[in-house]
Amino acid sequence: MAGRVVLRVMTLAPRMRSAAALAGVALVIVLVLWARGERFGLVAVPIAALPWAALPPLATPAPAATPSDPAVAAPTAPPAAVPPAAATSAGAVERCLPAQLVLAVGRVGVGLGNAGAVFILTNRSRTACYLYGFPGMQLLDALGRPLPTRVLRTGAYTFTEVPPRRVDLTPGGEASFSAGWSSATGYPGVPCPASESVEVTPPDDTAQLTVAAGIQACPDGTIHVSPVIAGARGAGGA
């Protein structure tokens, strides 16, 4: 009985060695196939392609800068606002106001049923100023009441038409404009208002200056005026 058992053990030993050899060969084949990325259709993934391989390295926090560090810039104050007065040029010349001016009548001329006069504006202030453009006019009767007046910004028989120009007036400086109208001799039987004084409105203003002037303008107080020009001679001709 004992001999039979030993015989069976001796018979099984070669089989076990063969099975172990076959298992070793199979393991080698599996390893080879795995290395080639062909086991069951799977592809070998390189280590560099793994998700965690793309993560950036952890940054080392830099030490906090101190006030003594030259790289730390000191805070700067914002620029100071410039007041409006400082932004305006100190030499700027303002427009002449009526309170700075004196009105007077200059040369007067008549001829062939026409008449004209030069009106002079003098800067009586201590500040330079300027005038630009056409003046306004209003005829007044002896009581200072307005008479029919129509002002045209054109040339007339007594003066030539000129374009407006800026006129700078130093203290005591003079500017002037010409006014021309048709007298009653050219319009017989037509009512022509006759003034005892005249209101003049400087260019770009609403206040008036008044001067004594007898003007009988026809028809219906029509007066032609020139722009203000430099000097006291008007636009010429009158």
pLDDT per position as a tens digit, 159-199: 999 999 999 999 999 999 999 999 877 677 787 889 999 99
Q: How far is CA 79 from the centre of its chain?
A: 21
The 10s digit of each residue's pLDDT in 44-96 is: 445 454 444 454 555 555 555 554 454 444 444 444 443 443 334 546 899 99
Q: What angle do CA 208, 206, 135 make, to 5 degrees?
A: 70
Looking up tokens 């390295």, which residue turns up? 57
Write the CATH number of the domain with boundaries 94-230: 2.60.40
Looking up tokens 């107080």, which residue turns up? 221
Determine whether 8 is exposed, middle or buried from the number of CB atoms within 10 Å of its CB (0-12, 13-18, 19+).
exposed
CA distances (Å), origin 121, targets 2, 17, 129, 210: 157, 137, 12, 11
Bridge pairing between strands 197-201 and 209-212:
antiparallel
Listed by start position, the domains of the chain span 2-54, 94-230
pTM, 2 dp? 0.61
